[in-house]
């Protein structure tokens, strides 16, 4: 069994969505002074690898702690979408029609993974177009992940998010897939159990059986 960590490293220098939020790490106790290290961290709920709950965009949507963790664990398919230049549409995905199974967790590997984890935010990141989200919903996938800090852009109606959220399909953003060969894995993603939040930072891994 091999574990592949696909989490975005959290640091003060990490890329943040639209460069709007700096993660802060603060030392409370230092080893030289106190003989112990203790620190605290301030995170946006959407910093690095995180899971969006429906309440992010839906007025009465459920919050992150109520999300069934079964939806974030299971058979996973990493799709090679590195040729997509702007967005991933239905026509970019239909070529995979025979390999996407019902209840797969689908992770979209794009050119976004080529950027470092500390680059400035790229407003032209590759995103999942509404037609792609609709297609994945119709395929009956269990969850959808992408390798950037958003899964949509330039969609004032949040059509991609809402297509998935209204079908109770969790959205995992901020994955790091540069070193991952497209194919099948076992996926586990555990977001922090934060009461009432619209999203939560998470650790995500792939497991590859020998």
Q: What minimum distance in Å lies between the beta carbon of 91 and a second copy?
A: 29
Q: What minimum distance in Å lies between the beta carbon of 102 and a second copy?
A: 18
Tokens 């060969």 belong to residue: 181
Structure tokens at 20: 């709007």
Torsion angle of C-alpha atoms 197, 87, 164, 112, degrees rounded to 10: -40
Cα separation, 193 vs 98, in Å, equals: 36
Structure tokens at 6: 């696909």
Q: What minimum distance in Å lies between the beta carbon of 201 and a second copy?
A: 6
Q: Which residues pair with 26 in a beta bridge?
A: 40
Residue of 45, 77, 164, 169 that binds a second copy (CB under 8 A): 45
Residues 145-174: x where in contact with a second copy by CB under 8 A, - otherwise, as a string: -------------x----------------
Name the residue nearer to a second copy (CB basis): 64 or 78: 64
Q: Does 120 bind a second copy (CB under 8 A)?
A: no
Which phi and psi (to 5°) does residue 107 adopt? Answer: -110, 130
Cβ-based neighbours of 96, under 8 Å, separated by 6 or more: 77, 79
Residues 2-31 binding a second copy (CB under 8 A) are: 3, 5, 7-11, 21, 25, 28, 31
* Residues forming the site for a second copy (CB under 8 A): 1, 3, 5, 7-11, 21, 25, 28, 31, 35-46, 48-49, 55-57, 59, 65, 69-70, 73, 158, 188-199, 201-205
């Amino acid at each position: 069994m091999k574990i592949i960590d696909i989490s975005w490293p959290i640091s003060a220098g990490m890329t943040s969505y639209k460069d709007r939020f700096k993660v802060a790490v603060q030392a409370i106790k230092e080893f030289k002074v106190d003989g112990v290290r203790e620190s605290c961290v301030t995170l946006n709920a959407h910093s690095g690898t995180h899971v969006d709950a429906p309440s992010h965009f839906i007025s009465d949507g459920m919050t992150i702690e109520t999300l069934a963790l079964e939806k974030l664990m299971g058979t996973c398919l990493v799709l090679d979408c590195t040729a997509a230049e702007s967005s991933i549409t239905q026509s970019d995905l239909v070529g995979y029609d025979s390999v996407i199974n019902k209840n797969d967790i689908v992770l979209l590997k794009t050119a976004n993974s080529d950027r470092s984890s500390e680059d400035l935010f790229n407003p032209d990141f590759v995103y999942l177009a509404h037609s792609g989200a609709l297609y994945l919903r119709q395929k009956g996938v269990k969850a959808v992940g992408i390798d950037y800090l958003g899964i949509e852009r330039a969609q004032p109606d949040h059509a991609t998010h809402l297509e998935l959220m209204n079908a109770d399909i969790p959205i995992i953003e901020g994955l790091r897939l540069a070193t991952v060969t497209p194919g099948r894995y076992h996926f586990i993603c555990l977001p922090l159990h934060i009461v009432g939040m619209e999203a939560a930072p998470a650790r995500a891994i792939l497991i590859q059986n020998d």
